[in-house]
Amino acid sequence: MDLRKLQHVALLTETRHFARAAELAHITQSALSRSIQALETELGLRLFDRSQAGVSVTPAGRELLERAKPLLKAARDLSYEMTQLRECKLGDLAIGAGPFPAATLIPQTIASLQSSHPGLRLSIEIHHTEALCALLEQETISLFVADTRKGALPPEVEMEPLMVQHGGLFCRADHPLTRRKNLVLHDLAAERFASVQLPPPLLAGFRRALGTTGDVPFAVTCDNIYLLKDLARRSDVVLVCTREALREELASGEFLALPLAQFRPQPVSVGAVTLRNRSRSPAASLFIDTIKRQIAASSA
């Protein structure tokens, strides 16, 4: 017994006419007749009486249809819901984001999806790359967008490059350091820094550039860029950040990039990361495609 045959029973019961039922089922009349006969043979019951006066439903046919109605409705509902999922009109998507993408790419992407696909529910985890990899491997999230520099990712995942962000050292416009000339990074060894949780290779490079053998003097380490920016407004900390995350503040003149001689900060390679050899859900593919469109539009 299959749902297709039950649907044929329902259509023939509704129309009491083989030709009309076949038309509604989008099959030939002979194919409908064979389907009904095959089900009757399978069940060992006559479901319909055929006569010159037409088609009538037997008691067994009525009983079968009553029991089949919930199944047919459930099948229609399931088909509808799968269509909605395929077209991302409903469903849930759990994603992760590194601090810099969370402050740059993710808000605009979410806003675009809420406009185009309001039935799609999103949950977002903001962490550093190592923590996001753990969440991905646990399948707590479907994908993440974060710093994907070489050596930062385990072999169980695959990465699709999205963009490069540009790091630097920044402070508020009236910071005492902005009045100094010919600054080099060694001059900042006594300053207090604030940043997201940086990967060990980047920390090691920053420590060497500062010329210190001890820990980098971070006053605050936090994966919330908005909190870090507010801290920089209210104190003398120096932000280790990307230009993209401070775009509005730099454009308005509220923050300045410290003009450090012979300082070449490492770029931040941002990519979309998923589990290797796993099919993406329609919602995950839509999310990544939307980010790509946002990047292309901002670069145009």
Note the pLDDT of residue 181.
Answer: 85
Number of domains forming the structure of the chain: 3
State how far the Cα of 272 lies from the Cα of 143, in Å rounded to an integer: 7
State how far the Cα of 106 lies from the Cα of 269, in Å rounded to an integer: 15
Give, for all 300 residues of the chain, the pLDDT tens digit.
Answer: 789 999 999 999 999 999 999 999 999 999 999 999 999 999 999 999 988 778 999 999 999 999 999 999 888 878 877 777 777 777 889 999 999 999 999 999 999 999 999 988 999 999 999 999 999 999 999 999 999 876 678 899 999 999 999 989 999 999 999 988 888 888 888 889 999 988 777 777 777 777 776 777 788 999 999 999 999 999 999 999 999 999 999 999 999 999 887 778 878 899 999 999 988 889 999 999 999 999 998 876
For residue 254, the 8-state DSSP code is S
Q: What are the phi and psi torsion angles at 65 (to 5°)?
A: -65, -40
Residues 150 and 286 in one domain: yes
Residues 155 and 279 in one domain: yes
State how far the Cα of 8 lies from the Cα of 148, in Å rounded to an integer: 55
Note the pLDDT of residue 162.
Answer: 96
Note the pLDDT of residue 113.
Answer: 93
Mark which of 56, 86, 116 sits at the end of a domain: 86
Note the pLDDT of residue 263.
Answer: 78
State how far the Cα of 157 lies from the Cα of 273, in Å rounded to an integer: 7
Residues 227 and 251 in one domain: yes
Note the pLDDT of residue 264.
Answer: 80
Q: What is the CATH number of the domain that holds 237?
A: 3.40.190.10
Residues 221 and 196 in one domain: yes
Which residues span the domain enclosing 147? 91-165+269-299
Mark which of 86, 115, 132 sits at the end of a domain: 86
Residues 12 and 62 in one domain: yes
Q: What is the pLDDT of residues 148-186, one digit of tens each?
A: 876 678 899 999 999 999 989 999 999 999 988 888 888
Residues 134 and 250 in one domain: no
Query: 80 to each of 171, 176, 192, 287, how far by Cα in Å?
Result: 53, 63, 57, 22
Residues 177 and 253 in one domain: yes
Contact 267, 162 (CB under 8 A): no
Note the pLDDT of residue 258.
Answer: 92
Measure the N-to-C terminal CA separation of the chain; round to a whole number of Å: 57
State how far the Cα of 131 lies from the Cα of 256, in Å rounded to an integer: 31
Mark which of 86, 118, 151 sits at the end of a domain: 86
Q: Rounded to two decimals, what is the model's pTM? A: 0.74
Contact 137, 156 (CB under 8 A): yes
Residues 56 and 188 in one domain: no
Note the pLDDT of residue 88.
Answer: 73
Residues 199 and 230 in one domain: yes
Note the pLDDT of residue 300.
Answer: 64
Residues 139 and 274 in one domain: yes
